[in-house]
Amino acid sequence: MTRTMGVLGGKWKLIIVSNLAGRRLRFGQLAQRLYLTSRKVLTEQLKELEEDGIVRREAFAELPPRVEYSLTEHGLALLPILEQLCAWNSSAPAVEAAS
């Protein structure tokens, strides 16, 4: 569990994985989808996910430069787990506000 939290414990990592589900996105597209995070944090999180074998970064030698991100096989294996977490959250009892 400690290793798992080390790999996926960043605030934005699971959201990045979710956004890359079944698609390839350029950095700018990811930044638009995750508009609440800074580009610096997004870059750091993507780099860590790439180092951990979750995300694939593909740079194209063209002008202007283009970089696309997608999930590796290891990253794709996370998708059913994320779906289970979403289902678990949907079935959770509503939390009442403190009076």
Question: How far is 83 from 92, CA to CA, in rounded Å?
Answer: 14
Is-contact 20 55, C-beta < 8 A?
Answer: yes
Q: Which three-class secondary structure state does DSSP give residue 60?
A: strand
Query: From first to last of its 99 residues, what are the pLDDT tens digits of the chain?
Result: 888 888 888 789 999 999 999 899 999 999 999 999 999 999 999 999 999 999 999 999 989 889 999 999 999 999 999 999 889 888 878 776 665
Question: How far is 95 from 77, CA to CA, in rounded Å?
Answer: 31
CA 12, 18, 19, 25 torsion: positive or negative?
Answer: positive
pLDDT of residue 48: 94
Q: What is the pTM of this model?
A: 0.85
